Chain A
Amino acid sequence: AQSVTQLGSHVSVSEGALVLLRCNYSSSVPPYLFWYVQYPNQGLQLLLKYTSAATLVKGINGFEAEFKKSETSFHLTKPSAHMSDAAEYFCAVSDRSQAGTALIFGKGTTLSVSS
């Protein structure tokens, strides 16, 4: 069964600093992987997705993630943090072992950005 582990429940950076949010996955089949962002009292917004094409995936708002099969990782990065990036970030894997397309989420990482 697929699963996702997000390392670090809380990450704090200064404005302009590098953002690195870690995600490791477990999957018995080639995975589809996603990063979503959730702002307070809102639903989830897709940042980017990996679907077995290019291993370096570029998303919205300057975020990108690299799929590394050997490390079973899909870490999210952004070169320079903005105050508006403060939010909850979720990594997810698609459960492709069944007929449907359920998303299996990690527990999330809260990103704080200080000025």
Chain B
Amino acid sequence: DAGVTQSPTHLIKTRGQQVTLRCSPKSGHDTVSWYQQALGQGPQFIFQYYEEEERQRGNFPDRFSGHQFPNYSSELNVNALLLGDSALYLCASSLEFREMGQDTQYFGPGTRLTVL
């Protein structure tokens, strides 16, 4: 059973460019969340997708956008890259249990983005 997969593993961009990161959730999961982890910090929540819609968003600017596809995979897009966007971007998937509450989020290995 494949876990959460992310691509690419590493990425180098220059300021002002745009980037797209991809995530495939764990088999059977329908919810995808994205996190940004700066060096030496804990992950920070960017947004969460469920039923192909963004249903929760953290304190990130509109330069950060996303998408969820019918097969539950997801993309994270960042426009007008800044040096401060350099970080490890983590994707997590989970299964929505409306009655049972919080299900476990399983994390992928991340994409390391470097902005020069």
A residues within 8 Å of B by Cβ? 32, 36, 42-46, 49, 51, 90, 92, 94-96, 98-108
Least distance between B25 CB and chain A CB atoms (Å): 13
- B side interface size, CB within 8 A: 28
Query: B65 contacts the other chain (Cβ, under 8 Å)?
Result: no
Q: What 1/0 mask marks residues of chain B from 50 to 83 whose CB sits below 8 Å from any chain A CB?
A: 1000011010000000000000000000000000
Assess the A98–B42 pair: CB atoms within 8 A: no
Residues of A within 8 A of B40 (CB): 108
A34 CA to B50 CA in the complex, in Å?
21
Assess the B56–A44 pair: CB atoms within 8 A: no
Assess the A103–B45 pair: CB atoms within 8 A: yes
Given known A-B contacts A43-B108, A100-B50, A32 and B42 have beta carbons under 8 A apart: no
Assess the B45–A43 pair: CB atoms within 8 A: no
Least distance between A90 CB and chain B CB atoms (Å): 5
